[in-house]
Amino acid sequence: MLDDLFEFLQEGVTPYHAAATAAAWLDAAGFTRLEEADYWNLEPGKGYYILRNGSAVVAWRIPDHAIGGWRITASHSDAPGWKIKSDAVTNDGCRRLSVEGYGGMIMSSWLDRPLTVAGRVLVRTEDGVETRLVHFDRDLLVIPSLAIHMQRDVNKGHEYNPQIDMQPLWGPADSRTLTDLLCQELGVAAEDILDRDLQLVTRQAPAVIGPDGQYFMAPRIDDLECAATTLLGFIDAAAGTDSACAPVWAMLDNEEVGSSSRQGAESSFLRDVLDRILEAIPHSAQMEHRALANSFMLSADNGHATHPNFAAKSDPAAPVRLGGGVVLKYNASQKYTTNALSGGIFRAICEKAGVPVQTFTNRADEPGGSTLGNLQSHSLPIPMADIGLAQLAMHSAVETAAVADAESMVKAVAAFYRVHLRALGDGVYTLA
């Protein structure tokens, strides 16, 4: 499992690469790729998936019987970082890239470490336009910090200005440009590059740490750890999935900037897919509503472990430990969708599977962030629980998590897809 997780973290350098990696895993598991613009012929017992924007994925399997409900997990493909705007900035004999921040990040964690460039490029072809993925798999550039001799009080705190402090050094002023390297990498002329979505990527590979390998460090743990482990659970459970429910796995984009895109959780993407599935198979007029009433969703996004150096920043009534199991997240303002009903159901599933569960809540005086569950509930009015895995240094260029927790998530998600969950009435469920 750990090798698979590390592969996903290492290969998913951008949302586009994360989606491509997920697609490769689904292909290997026997799923068939569909296109939104095509006519769908869906067969019982078979699995399918689609991509939107090259950065969001929805996969599903058609049950052998009529769809009596949906069993869904959703995560996200994006991470805070630096979007590249231009490669034409020169200053004092140096060439820099021009970048803009994406999402909320710990800026200082990006300084003085080897970086590279990855993303997608839109290329002119004889027939029109084609998307090409690009990832320069080598140490390529750096964001250099200002020497302490020129800012003597830097260790007392520094307010980073992204326009000044965070512009990366590319090379000498007369060096080849980023466009030059793109042309060489893709085998195209500069005039055939129509547009591009590129970003900086940290070069650190996932690494196991701790005296007995209990922890690991990697970029993009939030939220590719959840994306990878839920996908592994989804694929693992394929043969034993509840026969009356359609299992669905989703990885959406743009969560770190509010999810308000056609490939984000605030869009109708996931709901559109579910509606099309029902349209492609025989169903009664009431089937859609009955299926929704018998559905359940896990919104999977990582949570904060209690920091050993800053324990006071966490709720003392709900300490979260690295290695303590899957995190179930609650918020009084419903930034997390978990309530007693959805939390109780998830706890019961994990109990049956032998998976430890721990509770996360924010301090009452420390508001936290939100995730995709509450946004997805706008179009999917079904019970949801917000879950995740404990980590440290969230939104740093490199984060830390526990190996055992990743294993727990795979086991919990597989159990979620396999369990026979039935809504007998409002607030009454059976689990078999």
In a domain, 164, yes or no: yes
Please check whether residue 403 is in contact with residue 340, taking contact to mean a CB–CB distance below 8 angstroms.
Answer: no
Residue 207 lies in a domain: no
Asked if residue 165 belongs to a domain, the reply is yes
pLDDT at res. 391:
98
Statement to judge: residues 114 and 48 lie in one domain: no
AA identity, residue 10: Q
Q: How much is the average pLDDT of 159-165?
A: 95
Do 105 and 226 lie in one domain? The reply is: no
Instruction: Let me know if residue 14 belongs to a domain.
Output: yes
| Domain end call among 154, 170, 202 | 202
Which burial class, exposed, middle or buried, applies to 66 when counting CB atoms under 10 A from its CB (0-12, 13-18, 19+)? middle
CATH code of the domain containing 427:
3.40.630.10
Q: Are residues 72 and 95 in the same domain?
A: no
Considering 145, 172, 202, which residue would you say is the last residue of a domain? 202
CA-angle at 282, arms to 281 and 286, nearest 5°: 115
92 vs 416, residue with greater confidence: 416
pLDDT at residue 242 is higher than 90: no
Read off the pLDDT of residues 189-215 as tens digits, 9 standing for 90 and up. Answer: 999 999 999 999 999 999 999 999 999
* pLDDT in the model for residue 172: 93
pLDDT of residue 425: 87
Whether residue 208 is contained in a domain is answered as no
User: Per the domain annotation, does 414 fall within a domain?
Assistant: yes
* Shared domain check, 346 and 333: yes
Same domain flag for 44 and 6: yes
pLDDT value at 287 more than 90:
no
Tell whether 172 and 294 lie within a shared domain: no
- Euclidean distance between CA atoms 56 and 58, whole angstroms: 7
Domain boundary among 159, 174, 202: 202
Q: How many residues does the chain have?
A: 432
* 247 in the same domain as 172: no
Expressed as residue numbers, the domain containing 330 is 2-79+219-431
pLDDT-derived band of residue 284, with 50, 70 and 90 as boundaries? Answer: low
Q: Total structural domains in the chain? A: 2
For residue 382, the model assigns a pLDDT of 93
CATH of the domain at 174: 2.30.250.10
Mean pLDDT confidence for 325-353: 94
Whether residues 114 and 51 fall in one domain: no
Q: Do 364 and 268 lie in a common domain?
A: yes
The proportion of the chain whose per-residue pLDDT surpasses 90, expressed as a percent, equals 79
Three-state DSSP at 288 gives helix
Q: Are residues 226 and 114 in the same domain?
A: no
Tell me: do 282 and 194 sit in the same domain: no
pLDDT in tens, 405-432: 999 999 999 999 999 988 888 889 888 8
pLDDT of 240 above 90: no
Is 211 contained in some domain? no
Q: Is the pLDDT of residue 42 over 90?
A: yes
Look at residues 268, 255, 269, 261 and name the one whose alpha carbon lies nearest to residue 369: 255
If asked whether residues 240 and 368 sit together in one domain, one would say yes
d(CA 223, CA 21): 14
Name residues whose C-beta falls within 8 Å of residue 93's C-beta, 6 or more positions apart in sequence: 172, 173
Domain for residue 285, yes or no?
Answer: yes
Report the mean per-residue pLDDT for the chain.
Answer: 94
Q: Which pLDDT belongs to residue 366?
A: 81
